[in-house]
Amino acid sequence: MLMNLEDLVKRIQEEPWAGEVSAKEDFWVFLAEWIEEHVLSEFLGRVTGQVDEIVEIDPDLPEPQILERATRFMVDFLGAHSASVRIYDPHTEQMLSYGSYPSEEDMRQTLIPLEGSIAGEVVRTRRPFLVPDILQEELYRDKDVIYRKGVQSLMAIPLELPRFFPRERDTFGVIQIYYREKGRTFTPLEIQMANLMAKRLSFVIARKKIISLHRIREKQEEIVRHIFRKMGTRSGVKIKEVFDRVVPDLAEMVNLQSAVLFSASKDLKKVILEAGYPEAGGYHNIGRSYPVGKEPVFSLLLDLKEYSGDSVYEIVTPDYILVVEPQKSDLLSRELRNFAALHNINSILYVPLYVEGEISHFMTFDALDHRLRYREDEIDIFLFLGRELMKAQKMERLDDALHDFKNPAIATAGFARRLKQLLVEKGDEGSQGQIHKYLDILVEETTRLQELALSIYRVGEEQVVNLTGVLRKRFEINKEAIREQLKQDITLKEGPFDPEINIRGHLIPAERGFDNLLNNATKAIPLKGGVLAIRTYADGEWACAEIRNTGHISQEDRVKILEGEGPGRGLYIIHRIMSLLKGKIEIKGGKEDTTFVVRFPRHIS
């Protein structure tokens, strides 16, 4: 028995209308029993079924769709006309449009103020707000709703979503349920049922967050596993490859719509677009550079200026910057605002990536179309991805340096042995010249090895570099490496050279680029032997260096190398260096030989 029937009978008999009914005492008892058995049981069955429908909403759906389905169930059960949801945004202190049934999101105001609105009053008091006549209610400002939707009364019910993350707050909102009737009386039962369904809806959102937490942990483990798998391969870890591999999988979990990886130049004057998602059909120009000075958000992101604003349209934290309305934020230039409008970008999340306290990269995530922004749990996984990418970058730099140690290390060992031999033999005066030459080479190469080690963290400053001088020195080192590795029947040819041809850039990357090209060219020479030749020349505004080796290259391999997909780490390093020095590679394949031509912008004093 659900209730005390004697109490129920007494309450019925106390009603004014009951005194006008002529009936025996037993009648009231039979009436109460009949109500419990037939009316209440059926009603509770309907309530249970309706609550179950809300609880069983698929938690994998986006939150606006979950809210749309829940409001549909509420509208049907309460005999209402329509319903809508608004969520309070503490950053903008406004109420966000967040779903409706029937869906009218394109027609609704995106934001309404917290103060002076029914939704704001419900959030403030955490109590239902009843409006029998919308036309007479001052807090409901959009009176056109009466004529546009044909509704004249509403019941606003509080919605509370508990927080799951340390930085997150409890989320508060309101469900506004509309009716056609004017002067409608809302019964306590209707209000209770609406409250019950709102609370069950919060359970669905909580379940969605729990599932999301589990998937985030799985995704974090997958990111780490992928990086460690790459560590075990011959090509090693490459930050762009990790980004390209992990981000598409991540997109399926967090409804990621668009992501970009940028690198920052050492002088922080420009940023380069390194990778983008989606690769096909996106708006990412891989390799394009952008001046930092023209974008306020870049300067802020790279710690070149402090944030002094107090705008509701951006959120600035040590971990990220979130521009919530690109068209109204002063952090974006007019060009970037126009770009956001063109591509329906509603918010942009910027995540800086630090190495040894310095920002070397950052990621951006664009929320497109009707999605307004990314949630805190999604931001957490983006931050985790950023931290792991920076670990990958450290390993990538270490891999690069170790790869480039080989030739100078081999050559240094060879020169040191020959120097020792000359000193032991104490030859004639002519040998003194050789001793000084070997000493100079040893000093240069050991200094370079030191610089290679330091380049794990930095690339050095730009300077004027003599292209011919660098190529000839690296050719000399490669010549010694050939001798030390006992490679047979390789004929070396040098020249002609342009001794006055200069470029402006970073010396260490230029040396590393030529080391890798010469090493690859040497390895490509057939076992029966062949030619390795170098020369330099000017071609208009370009400074050109040419490396030719015996050995045929297929068209398929040529295309792969030019697209940066060739095998081995050396070619990957070369492509990165070409990007850094604003250079480009050409490959000329003959029947019996292959020629690599590298071009750099020529520097003329």
* pTM, 2 dp: 0.45
Q: Are residues 469 and 535 in the same domain?
A: yes
Helices (H) and strands (E) in the chain, counts: 16, 20
Domain that holds residue 251: 228-386
Examine residue 294 and state whether it is found in any structural domain, yes or no.
Answer: yes
DSSP states of 91-132: TTTEEEEEEEES--TTTS-SEEESTTSHHHHHHHH-S-EEES
Q: Which long-range contacts (CB under 8 A, 24 or more apart) does 92-98 make?
A: 92/312, 92/313, 92/324, 93/312, 94/312, 95/119, 95/120, 95/123, 95/173, 95/174, 96/372, 98/63, 98/64, 98/67, 98/173
Examine residue 189 and state whether it is found in any structural domain, yes or no.
Answer: yes
Examine residue 430 and state whether it is found in any structural domain, yes or no.
Answer: no
Q: Are residues 145 and 255 in the same domain?
A: no
Q: Are residues 493 and 572 in the same domain?
A: yes
Q: Are residues 74 and 202 in the same domain?
A: yes
Query: What CA–CA distance (Å, rounded) separates 348 from 330?
Result: 13
The mean-pLDDT minimum among 245-249, 415-419, 446-450 falls in 446-450
pLDDT tens, residue by residue, 26-64: 776 777 677 766 667 677 777 777 778 888 888 878 778
Examine residue 397 and state whether it is found in any structural domain, yes or no.
Answer: no
Examine residue 292 and state whether it is found in any structural domain, yes or no.
Answer: yes
602 DSSP assignment: B
Q: Are residues 380 and 243 in the same domain?
A: yes
* pLDDT recorded at residue 166: 54
Q: Are residues 268 and 363 in the same domain?
A: yes
More confident residue, 525 or 375: 525
Q: Are residues 274 and 186 in the same domain?
A: no
Write the CATH number for 312.
3.30.450.40
Q: How confident is the model at residue 456 (pLDDT cuts 50, 70, 90)?
A: very low
pLDDT tens, residue by residue, 337-383: 998 888 888 889 898 887 666 788 888 888 876 566 677 767 777 77
Q: Are residues 9 and 108 in the same domain?
A: no
57 DSSP assignment: S
Examine residue 408 and state whether it is found in any structural domain, yes or no.
Answer: no
Average pLDDT over residues 69-84: 90
More confident residue, 566 or 487: 487
368, 386, 404 — which closes off a domain?
386
pLDDT tens, residue by residue, 264-282: 887 788 898 888 888 776 7
Examine residue 288 and state whether it is found in any structural domain, yes or no.
Answer: yes
Task: Inform me whether the pLDDT recorded for 110 exceeds 80.
Answer: no
How many CA atoms are closer than 13 Å to the CA of 465, on its beta-carbon side? 23
177, 210, 243 — which closes off a domain?
210
Count structural domains, the chain: 4
| Residue-averaged pLDDT of the chain | 78
Angle made by CA atoms 501, 290, 543, in degrees to the nearest 5: 10
Q: Are residues 340 and 466 in the same domain?
A: no
DSSP states of 319-364: S-EEES-GGG-TTS-HHHHHHHHHTTEEEEEEEEEEETTEEEEEEE
150, 176, 210 — which closes off a domain?
210
Write the CATH number for 563.
3.30.565.10
* pLDDT recorded at residue 247: 80
Residues paired with 271 in a beta bridge = 264, 290
Q: Are residues 157 and 262 in the same domain?
A: no
Q: Are residues 169 and 111 in the same domain?
A: yes
Q: Are residues 192 and 241 in the same domain?
A: no
The mean-pLDDT minimum among 78-92, 169-183, 536-550, 558-572 falls in 558-572
